Chains A and B, each alone.
Chain A
């Protein structure tokens, strides 16, 4: 692929989503290039991100629901064992970090962890495989130029996806803050700390920033880590077009980076979950 296009085009191609949206002229349709995607602005849907995200979420729920349905208190086997292991792990974390009583938190943490982990795991699939398949499919089945078939498979390298999760967590934070402390209590917390009522503007500024920074950091941390990882995979993949020597080197590099990246994948999913729990715990606390 890289032999017919330049490196920057190759990278650009890998970083562009398959997008459905409103063209500047007002009609809705798929974007055929990165420029068109950019022009769509807000009114765009990253079909590939959502497709993979929904599929992986559904896969998670399917597997866990099947295990949950056939759950017994007797000796667990195979899948049940694995599911129990994960659930126990989540439960321990929730108990360790969340002090209030809320039946939503544990399932929320489980969903966040497994879903994000699955989405991150897509990063380990060699960067060209599925996009190439999609390109071939687009070329032969739909008669498209394969260079115009965009197909990103790692949803968490899409800021929309990580921000989507963070927004949901943020809404929950606000909801529980207001529910537990009342609207007055919540606003009071924003206005009268840490400097008392005479420092109200400073308080509002500080607390407001600290409040907003929570979902922003949540979204950006996950996105940044995965995006950077993906980028390195893409750069390594560029080596494959440089002849057998560079290609071999690239193979080893990719293997090494993938092994190291497993750590990041797990860690980021874990951090996202723990921070979700902690933020919601803070929302439940009176200060």
Chain B
């Protein structure tokens, strides 16, 4: 084994190969790798952001749901109150109406009683006059004795 020109041949080849590798092989590969690395990093950041946004949206949704629930409860309460109110109103209306009807009936009855009394009174006075006529067997001047008769009638 002797050292010879082969060594220099190899050295020259080495230099050429390294130069070629440095110019045409390494840079494009590194560029692509870096580009992919960046892409992946971007993708991850995007995903992170998406995740955060989802979380935010979830929280928002939860908030809205609870708000809606609150609102629904409020509405329900109000409705309940209103219903109670209506029922109360209706009750009082009904009572009033009932009272009114009762009063009207009362008045009617009273009126009826009054009329009957009046009628009775006139009739009684007539009967009394007729009775008196018969008793006295003589004409009584109805005009002259009206006051007395009326007084009589009121006493009945």
A-side residues, CB < 8 A to B, are: 15, 21, 37-38, 40-46, 49-50, 53-54, 57, 60-61, 64-65, 67-69, 71-74, 83-84, 87-88, 91, 103-104, 106-108, 110-111, 115, 155, 158-161, 163-165, 167-168
Contact = CB atoms under 8 A, between A and B. Distances in A.
Interface stretch (B7-15, B115-123, B134-142): B7-15
B3 interface: yes
A68 B124 CA distance: 139
A87 B6 contact: no
Nearest to A171: B11
Interface stretch (B24-32, B87-95, B145-153): B24-32
Nearest to B39: A73
Interface of B: 1-11, 13-15, 17-18, 20-22, 24-26, 28-33, 35-36, 39
Contacts of A41: 2, 4
Contacts of A21: 4-5
B29 A158 contact: no
Contacts of B35: 73
| Chain B binding surface, main DSSP class | helix
Nearest to A61: B20
Nearest to A39: B2
B26 A164 contact: no
A168 B15 contact: yes
17 contacts: A37-B2, A38-B2, A42-B4, A44-B5, A45-B5, A53-B10, A57-B13, A61-B25, A65-B20, A87-B26, A104-B22, A107-B21, A110-B25, A160-B6, A161-B7, A164-B9, A164-B13
A54 B31 CA distance: 28
A106 B21 CA distance: 10
Contact of B24 (A65, A84, A163): A65
A21 B9 CA distance: 13
A158 B6 contact: yes
Nearest to B4: A44
Contacts of A40: 2, 4
B6 A44 contact: yes
